[in-house]
Amino acid sequence: MRSDLIYIPDSELDALIQQDTPYLDLTTLGLDIGDEPGSLSFYTREPCVLCCTEEVSRILSKLGLSTAYSLPTGTQIGAGELFFTAEGSVCDLHRAWKICQSLLSHCSGVATKARNMLNRVQEISPAISLTAARAHFPGTKALVTKAVVAGGVIPHRMGLSETVLIYETHIACMGGLDVFLERYPQQKSHFCEKKVFVETTSAETALRCLSVGVDAIQFFQLQPDALAAAVEQVKAAYPHCTVVAAGNLTEENVTEYAATGVDGLVSSAFYRAEPIQMQAQFHTN
């Protein structure tokens, strides 16, 4: 899946540089080692799916450095493999070092977890969609979206503006389920170009919503056994209805959820991935 379609704005990369080196690198300045040419290489200490090598190259360029070698985002590599080398002055290499290593480590961790979870889902059925919830840490959307896509997972919802997902809170604000069911057939025309989902924990509520023209159901925080029973009920009455499950999904239990008969799974577990352990090596010319 082409994660290069996701553009990380220059402003975000500039902010990373500014946060780490707001003025100067006092250590290299004080040691008077700034002008010597050198190189900085990154290796992984564990297998992973790489992410954000392109953004690292852009950061290097902003700092007056060049990329001598780089593997692209989405590449699966083993422990100990060289995947990136930068060249330039040792002062600028030190400025770039931790910014780049942290970006690679965290985003590759998310990408790797996404790939691992997707592989587990596809062992059950390649037809099941695994998507990433929008419960990421605020301010990281562009980077983590690139990371999950690098792992083969697509976003569930990029925001509130392009999808229709009716929560129980929406229904409560309308006056309850009965009022919603009465009004929805007239209101559906507002969403004529969209697939309308209702989130619920109840198969009974799902069936009632589907009876008035709702397109799809998102079951929330059901245990696998309860979810399988709910999916069976819904599919028996509405075999072409799309059913997805959200909440509680982890790398450890995603296989159980994939075996419940759902069409798709929604998870935020990717964002809690451990950073990939990486090693940086400096060389002076």
| pLDDT tens by residue, 262-275 | 999 999 999 999 99
Locate 191 and state its tokens.
């969403």
How many Å separate Cα 247 from the centre of its chain? 15
**Single-letter residue type at 20:** D
**CA gap 63, 58 in Å, rounded:** 9
Mean pLDDT taken over the chain: 96
Q: Which whole number is the average pLDDT over 31-46?
A: 93
Is the CB of residue 105 less than 8 Å from the CB of residue 261?
Answer: no
3-state DSSP call for residue 201?
coil
Tell me which residue of 82, 138, 150 sits closest to 113, measured CA to CA: 150
Q: Angle at Cα 111 formed by Cα 110 and Cα 115, nearest 5°?
A: 120
Within 10 Å of residue 6's Cβ, how many Cβ atoms? 17
CA atoms 267, 271, 277, 280: torsion sign: positive
Give the model's pLDDT for residue 38: 96
Distance between first and last Cα of the chain = 38
**Phi and psi at residue 39, to the nearest 5°:** -140, 155
**CA gap 148, 269 in Å, rounded:** 11
Give the model's pLDDT for residue 132: 98
pLDDT above 90: residue 33: no
pLDDT above 90: residue 150: yes
Q: Which whole number is the average pLDDT over 124-137?
A: 96
Give the model's pLDDT for residue 5: 79
Within 10 Å of residue 209's Cβ, how many Cβ atoms? 26
Give the model's pLDDT for residue 35: 84
| pLDDT tens by residue, 220-243 | 999 999 999 999 999 999 999 999
pLDDT above 80: residue 178: yes
* List of domains in the chain: 3-117+273-284 (3.90.1170.20), 124-272 (3.20.20.70)
Is the CB of residue 90 less than 8 Å from the CB of residue 30?
Answer: no
Tell me which residue of 119, 117, 118, 109 sits closest to 146, measured CA to CA: 109
Largest CA distance in the chain: 76
Give the model's pLDDT for residue 184: 97
Let me know if 188 is exposed, middle or buried by CB neighbors in 10 A (0-12, 13-18, 19+): middle
Q: Which whole number is the average pLDDT over 30-57?
A: 95
**CA gap 105, 274 in Å, rounded:** 9
Give the model's pLDDT for residue 3: 60
| pLDDT tens by residue, 16-25 | 999 999 999 9
pLDDT above 90: residue 285: no
Q: Which whole number is the average pLDDT over 164-193?
A: 96
Give the model's pLDDT for residue 147: 97
pLDDT band at residue 34 under the 50/70/90 scheme: confident
Q: Which whole number is the average pLDDT over 94-122?
A: 98
Q: Which whole number is the average pLDDT over 104-133?
A: 98
Give the model's pLDDT for residue 1: 62
Give the model's pLDDT for residue 245: 98
Within 10 Å of residue 157's Cβ, how many Cβ atoms? 16
Give the model's pLDDT for residue 60: 98
